[in-house]
Structure 1
Amino acid sequence: MAVSTAIASPSDSNLLRYKFTSPYKYSKLDQTNQHIRLLRVRPAADAPSFRQLGQKWDLPNCNMEIFKLDQAPPYIALSYVWGDKSSGTAGILLDGQKFEITTSLYIFLDLFRSDTFSQEVAYIWIDQICIDQSDLDERSYAVRFMSSVYSNAEYVVVWLGDDEETEKAAKAFYFTRLWIIQELLLARTVIINCRETWGLHLSSVQFHVQKYQDKIYSRIRNPSLFLLWDSVYNREGRHLAQCLQRYCQNDCQDPRDKVYALLGLVKAEEQVPIDYSKSVSEVYIDTLQILARRWWLQTPTDFDNIGRPAFIGVAVSLAKEMFTYASLPGLWALLRPVRSLPGFKWYIKVFQHLSEHEQRDARKSLKQS
């Protein structure tokens, strides 16, 4: 049964003035055994109450538990827009400790804990909470198996927002996010919710999908729509080049995720190592190395045409094999969508110089023949 949507949205100034214990400290995950954290949201009746200025707040009360991914209990994976913390935050209780989240996510948890669906599937995976975002090593580890988190979930719940204006903005932005490519494509079942039409029960799944189908498709950028259509027929791994080319229009806050957010769809032999301690340029060089191993066919003998000395080391590391002349047009088409990103255009010049070298050699061969 759906719950009332007339739930107060506690602001940062109200909620975070309460005295909690020390800020939440994460326990380390066993990365060798694919451990993940799942959030258990306690029913509203179990929530501690606080009073301030005559108002009563019942904080979402949650516990964090660690499981091996292949032994985890049934859980929901949340797909949503993070939002900007500068526009509002709120606190929850997490293992008795304060944990700050965006207001939109707070509203979702407030609704979820009051719905009987939370008793049927008690655990939920939310990246904002279940990943220690301050730990770059853990972020890298988590993204490596993000696709498994979403594909193993009983349901992927799409959260579009908490009020009319926010919902409109969320709908417009949500379906342009790069991360939804794997979040929705790999899901067993998708449930779409906003505060206006809340309802997580299995009987509501078809209703929500049908209700929002036209709106969803009208707001998905063409590459995303292509992927969702393609997913009906193709569940096999895709080529890295194919993903970069088709879905480059989708947005992400971290430029490194232009690559990382797609790896859940990419063939095993074309995986780019995930490491958030690397700079944007280093991540793109890693990507180019994967592409180079895929496409280069012969070893260059001359780098005279590389104008900047700084490019030589990069070129040598990439150029274990050389692109054939015939493959170059496809490469340029592939790299064009991401070449304008910060730092990346300089590495494109490596390929530009190498292609000029290859074309010159090709012309020489034609003359000699």
Structure 2
Amino acid sequence: MATFEYDSINLARPAFRLARLLAGSGTDIQCEIFQAWFDQPEDIMPYEALSYTWGSTEKTDKIKVNACEFDVTQNLYLALQYLRLENEDRILWVDGLCIDQMNHEEKGHQVQQMSNVYRRAERVVIWLGPATYDTNVLMDSIKEVEKESIDYSRNNWRSSDQAWRDIWSTVQPKLRNIHSNVEVRQRNGLESLFEWPWFSRVWILQEVANARRAVVVCGVKSVSARTFAIVPSLIGVTPPPHCQSILDIMPGPLREESWWSQNRDLRTLLLKFGKTAASDPRDNIYALLGISSDACNSDILRAEYSKSEQEVMKDVVSFLLRCPELHNTKFLSDYTMPQFLESAGFLSNLALNWAQKAENEPLAKASLAHDYIDVNLKDDGGTTPLLLAVQTNRKWLAKLLLEHEDIDVNLKDTDKRTPLMVAIRTGRKEIIKMLLSHRNIDVNLKDKDERTPLMVAVQAGRDDIINTFISHVNITMYLKDKERKKTPLMAMAEVGMRGIVMMLLSHSNIDVNLQDKSGDTALHLAMGVSVIANLVLAHDDIKVDLKNTLGQTALQKAEMGEDWGVVELINSTNREKITQD
């Protein structure tokens, strides 16, 4: 027998094929395939669209198509056997029959028609697979609910309507007379269905979401999708999140009440369904285009199977960030589709990180303009984009980030260092000025050792930075570190940093008499450096008689250390005070 060959379809028109499943019984299945066009709706024969899962892509079974031999998967063969009617032909759209899967150009064209295929169908037939005893009990239960609901004169019931529970209470006694352990079997049947492949297949999303009417078929039993979607709440089963999202978009009350009627842009769909199963990784994207509110008519995003996975991923990010320049970069070149989908919630952050490394300012601007950018997102090492910009001295990126309304300019890394502390430690003068001019900067925060930015600058000996830093209106000069409870003035007096001590002493809020863990003041700590002691002693508020924990004044400590230069300076200061008094 000859092998079936497809006639080409006109790719310039909205053409598609339909299959006539010929009536019959037994193992031999016969179909006839013919073409139709959406731009000639009056000529389209009423049809049903099949939603099923391919299972294995290996074509192990044979049917006859237009009197020729045609290979199909086992799942499709079983579906056709169950759906075939004995005395009446059935007109169906089935992707495994109606699309030439070996023709990539046609396949891309037909994917563009998928929304229309399912939207124009008289109804969508959801084929879950062969039945088990428990699924038969479940389907019988749902069918009883459907029958009983006919007696209720209501339209457009909400899923929470008490009428559903009233009906359930009515049918359960009848079902208990038919099936043993009916509640357990209902629950087991539903939970097992949620684990079946149909609920994890990516293409079913478009198929269900576009359906005007749908019927769920399991074995030889069928129920309306409208009622099927309501049943979990009646049985008391909480579907897995991805299954609930699918139930939400089935034709019926749930669709109008769920997220579907609120937000179904491509990003939302990627977050909800990015981990569903697809034999071709690119279909994880292509299957969502037709049901997204923003990408369904995009010129950037089209099903083109000639493109690599990386090209498709770039298409998505280019679309979401409105940045076509991405195509000329190596962005995402080392990503697989699963990695990309796992990152769907923070694609703008990925783009921002890559822009930072590649010095790509236009991409950074596009990323920061995106609604879902998290400018404060930390990487695995606890580093924010702003901290990274400071570390790498990328002034242009620091400027862009500081202009963003959501930036947290004080967010710390794992060592509790703020961007300002890092900038001071690494000597990023221009970035320090940017940070200090930000309206929300806190110049007095402490790191894990309770060092303020000022202490960090002082300990680094950055007098060029300190001069700019201490002029900030909110600077607090007397905050101490964790280990020895020293202020910046104490620390610099101890090591004899004359220039920094002069700057610190010039500040209007300096307190020269604070004491450290040992009770020493800046004067105590100036031993051995007469020039520092002289500067401290010259301050108007100096108190020379304060004692440390050993009971020593600065004079006594100087005498004990035989620091006669400092002794003379303190005595001279005392004489002057006595004279003034």
TM over 0.5: yes
The Cα of 1:243 is off from its aligned counterpart by: 1.4
Indicate if the aligned counterparts of 2:265 and 2:294 stay in contact, CA closer than 8 A.
no
Q: Residue type matched to 2:113 in 1?
A: F
Q: Specify which of 221, 238, 242 is matched with residue 198 of structure 1.
A: 221
Per-residue CA distance 1:123-173 (angstroms, 9 max, x = gap)? 1011111111101111111111211111111111111113549x8588522
Q: What is aligned with 2:128?
A: 160
1:282 to 2:315 alignment: no
Larger RCO of the pair (alpha carbons < 8 Å, separation 6+): 1
Question: How far apart are the structure 1 equivalents of 2:272 and 2:101?
Answer: 29
The Cα of 1:367 is off from its aligned counterpart by: 3.9
Structure 1 residue ranges without an equivalent (≥5)? 1-19, 46-56, 298-302, 337-348
Question: How far apart are the structure 2 equivalents of 1:260 and 1:94?
Answer: 28
Q: Residue type matched to 1:104 in 2?
A: N
TM-score of the two chains, using structure 1 as the length reference: 0.68
Q: What is aligned with 1:95?
A: 66
Q: What is aligned with 1:339?
A: none
Indicate if the aligned counterparts of 2:266 and 2:295 stay in contact, CA closer than 8 A.
no
Q: What is aligned with 1:68?
A: 37
Q: Residue type matched to 1:252 in 2?
A: A
- The structure-2 alpha-carbon separation of the partners of 1:208 and 1:193, relative to structure 1 and needing over 3 Å to count, comes to farther
Q: Secondary structure at the match of 1:40?
A: strand
1:146 to 2:175 alignment: no
Q: Residue type matched to 2:56 in 1?
A: D
Indicate if the aligned counterparts of 1:85 and 1:102 stay in contact, CA closer than 8 A.
yes
Q: Specify which of 33, 39, 50 is matched with residue 78 of structure 1.
A: 50
Q: Residue type matched to 1:256 in 2?
A: R
Indicate if the aligned counterparts of 2:318 and 2:324 stay in contact, CA closer than 8 A.
no
- The structure-2 alpha-carbon separation of the partners of 1:327 and 1:83, relative to structure 1 and needing over 3 Å to count, comes to closer
Indicate if the aligned counterparts of 1:79 and 1:156 stay in contact, CA closer than 8 A.
yes
Q: What is aligned with 2:241?
A: 222
- The structure-2 alpha-carbon separation of the partners of 1:181 and 1:206, relative to structure 1 and needing over 3 Å to count, comes to closer
RMSD: 4.1
Q: What is aligned with 2:78?
A: 107
Indicate if the aligned counterparts of 1:295 and 1:323 stay in contact, CA closer than 8 A.
no
Q: Specify which of 256, 263, 266 is matched with residue 232 of structure 1.
A: 256
Q: What is aligned with 1:178?
A: 202
Aligned residues: 300
Question: How far apart are the structure 1 equivalents of 2:221 and 2:45?
Answer: 24
Query: 172-181 or 204-213, which moves further after superposition?
Result: 204-213
- The structure-2 alpha-carbon separation of the partners of 1:144 and 1:332, relative to structure 1 and needing over 3 Å to count, comes to farther
1:306 to 2:357 alignment: yes
Q: What is aligned with 1:189?
A: 213
Q: Secondary structure at the match of 2:129?
A: coil
Indicate if the aligned counterparts of 1:77 and 1:155 stay in contact, CA closer than 8 A.
yes
- The structure-2 alpha-carbon separation of the partners of 1:273 and 1:190, relative to structure 1 and needing over 3 Å to count, comes to same
Indicate if the aligned counterparts of 1:295 and 1:327 stay in contact, CA closer than 8 A.
no
Per-residue CA distance 1:309-340 (angstroms, 9 max, x = gap)? xxx8xx6895684524985218979xx9xxxx
- The structure-2 alpha-carbon separation of the partners of 1:160 and 1:179, relative to structure 1 and needing over 3 Å to count, comes to same
Question: How far apart are the structure 2 equivalents of 1:140 and 1:182?
Answer: 15
Q: What is aligned with 1:346?
A: none
Identity of aligned residues (%): 26
Q: After the TM superposition, which residues 228-267 of structure 1 pair with which residues of structure 2 at under 5 Å, given as runs?
A: 228-229=247-248, 231-233=255-257, 234-235=260-261, 238-267=264-293
Q: Residue type matched to 1:76 in 2?
A: E
Q: Secondary structure at the match of 2:322?
A: helix
Q: Secondary structure at the match of 1:142?
A: helix
Q: Secondary structure at the match of 2:125?
A: strand
TM-score of the two chains, using structure 2 as the length reference: 0.45
Q: What is aligned with 1:16?
A: none
Per-residue CA distance 1:243-272 (angstroms, 9 max, x = gap)? 112222322222112211111121355732
